[in-house]
Amino acid sequence: MSNPNLHDCVRTSMEAYFRDLNGTDPAGLHEMLVKAVEKPLLEVVMQQSQNNQSRAAQWLGLNRNTLRKKLLEHHLL
């Protein structure tokens, strides 16, 4: 059995989220999803970069200060 890709995982999770809403209108979907994906992304990238913020920022295509801000927002510093 093959592992689902990220796209499929997100799609399946979002479909389940809408089912769980049971007809209730969602709110703040974009922010909710970005926060749900961003923290584990930052955790893994920081681990793989051996906590080198400059390298991690480069890999992510972010300014180092932006990365630092995001790390602080997610309580990763």
The pLDDT value given to residue 4:
79
Q: What is the CA radius of gyration of the chain?
A: 15
Give pLDDT tens digits for 23-53. 999 999 999 999 889 999 999 999 999 999 9
For residue 22, pLDDT beyond 80: yes
User: What pLDDT score does 30 carry?
Assistant: 94
Q: How confident is the model at residue 15 (pLDDT cuts 50, 70, 90)?
A: very high
